[in-house]
Amino acid sequence: MNKLAIYPGTFDPITYGHIDIINRTSKIFYKVIIAVIENPKKKLMFKASERIILIKKSIKKNKNVKVLIFNDLIINFAIQNKSNILIRGIRNTNDFNEEYAFQQLNKLMNKKIEVIFLFSSKNLSFLSSSLVKEIANYKGNLKKLVPLCVYQAIKKKIKLTKKIN
């Protein structure tokens, strides 16, 4: 297939669940853009520039994947990047209901946009960035949830934050 797909999200931080979706998407599409949103409304652990570095380190084996920042509607970003395909990972029925509503809204704004839902691998269906941050705040073991570079960045970030507070 000669198509470009966009996988948008905050990726704060990137987890093995995200990487699973990225790896599977990169096998389906000739090129994939990981669209990292700068969302000032969300309480984020990492700046967008830091998230991009962590994502690049985590997926360096994927030669057909590019990582970019966006701060606009995802359909505008898709149009700018000449893609009409958005990838969304689904872990459970709650995700599906939320993503379905977004998909309908995007379709209303631009009929050419297609959203492809990829279900999480069963062994990763529980995993979320929010859960990773919560475990990190209680100094829990993250080694099976995120790549080593992300684990180290989280440890450093929490250490710095604790010193500041």
| Partners of residue 32 on adjacent β-strands | 5, 65
Q: How many other C-beta atoms lie within 10 A of the C-beta of residue 40?
A: 7
42 is catalytic: yes
C-beta of residue 117 within 8 angstroms of C-beta of residue 96 = yes
91 is catalytic: yes
Active-site residue identified among 3, 42, 47, 60: 42
143 is catalytic: no
51 is catalytic: no
| Partners of residue 33 on adjacent β-strands | 6, 66
Active-site residue identified among 24, 31, 57, 91: 91
Active-site residue identified among 18, 51, 88, 133: 18
Active-site residue identified among 83, 120, 128, 129: 129
- Grouping H, G, I as helix, E, B as strand and the rest as coil, residue 70 is strand
Distances (CA, A) of 28 to 1, 5, 31, 107: 7, 9, 9, 22
Q: Is 135 exposed, middle or buried (0-12, 13-18, 19+ CB in 10 A)?
A: middle
Q: Give me the active site residues, please.
A: 18, 42, 91, 129
